[in-house]
Chain A
């Protein structure tokens, strides 16, 4: 293939890719797991320090609850009382800002087969309240600067009994 023809071929190829990317961009306008502040739950005054939100697992050691998973688990066990007879994965995704405060919550409800379902509203509200009571989160440091990050807590329930707390 001669050079001008080759260039034209590549240009067309590039345009096709660009156009198909543009078409798809509606499907992915943000990173997976982005929580829209306009629809998020919790304190409306909650602010992040930057627009770049990392993930809890981008740091070593991982960012998370300041006093560790066991303390988190013990505290939940003390506060939780079963409501209804629900089974599934009830997930609270949220943002921890550079000051270690949590906000911008999103709730995801699934059955034990990871299919969407609706949980008892009272149960959601009870677990949401417990989740929001955890105020002290580890700041995530990268290049000497504290960063905002996404994290989640999933309550795995069987007959409204918490059988696991993930991740």
Chain B
């Protein structure tokens, strides 16, 4: 019965509308242990910038069903609140909750997510280990073509920070192998080629990056800015430099 109310609220009314919230509240009254209902009640607060209302509701979902929601909370802390330490704590907890299994909150591996969090904290070595762990695990289990192409972009950004340009180029080209329309890959290749004095190649690459960006083929996420997200102004900056 609780599940039916939750589904009715989710399917038939706009998220965060009074009708939607009321039906979820009934679902919780009928079954206070319905973790999915607590989580659903929290979502409009998350998306609309009201953290003190979001957190206790989502925490309740985690308390009731940590296997399902703890990694997910880490994802939200990472992307919505940029709370890196706390996100890592949630990702680490999934190792204990589901031993021998890599969790994928919001379809992203906790290892890839840990890589992003450590990169933001300036801990490049740990970030590299986690990105690589993720990429290698998927490659071994399912094949390289199953790796999230943006993991190659993020690892390339890390290599660029370490000034290991050759390794960055390998990752950017790998991204293009599986996603030939990646504006990000061309943007970063243009940056590297410009840095290394190959202006003409950089010019061609930034032109491609711009045209693909304008078609919407760039790395971005729902609701929030993603890590390493490029924009038209960043592309035009490089464009100016290569044409000077």
How many A-B contacts are there with CB distance less than 8 Å? 98
Within 8 A of B (CB), among A45-95: 55, 57, 61-62, 67-71, 89, 91, 93
Which A residues are in CB contact (< 8 Å) with B48? 32-33, 55, 93, 150, 152
Stretch at the interface among A2-10, A21-29, A96-104, A126-134: A21-29
Q: Is the interface of A mostly helix, strand, loop or mixed?
A: mixed
Which A residues are in CB contact (< 8 Å) with B47? 55, 57
B137 to chain A: closest CB distance in Å? Answer: 30
Contact with A along B39-64 (1 / 0, CB 8 A): 00000110111111111000000000
Q: How far is the CA of A29 from the CA of B18 in the complex (A)?
A: 6
| Chain B interfacial residues counted at CB < 8 A | 34
Let me know if B14 and A166 touch, CB within 8 A.
Answer: no
A17 sits at the interface (CB 8 A): yes
B52 to chain A: closest CB distance in Å? Answer: 5
A31 sits at the interface (CB 8 A): yes
| Given contacts A33-B50, A89-B51, A93-B48, A28 and B21 within 8 Å (CB-CB) | yes
Let me know if B222 and A70 touch, CB within 8 A.
Answer: no
Contact of B26 among A20, A69, A70 (CB under 8 A): A20
A137 to chain B: closest CB distance in Å? Answer: 15
Stretch at the interface among B75-83, B140-148, B157-165, B170-178: B75-83
Q: Quick one: closest B residue to A28, CB to CB?
A: B18
Which B residues are in CB contact (< 8 Å) with A116? 52
Contact of B22 among A21, A70, A166 (CB under 8 A): A21
Known: A156-B81, A167-B224. 9 other contacts (CB 8 A): A21-B19, A21-B26, A31-B14, A32-B44, A33-B44, A70-B234, A93-B49, A110-B52, A167-B225
Task: Give A residues with C-beta under 8 Å from B.
Answer: 17, 20-21, 24-25, 27-33, 55, 57, 61-62, 67-71, 89, 91, 93, 108, 110, 112-116, 150, 152, 154, 156, 163-164, 166-167
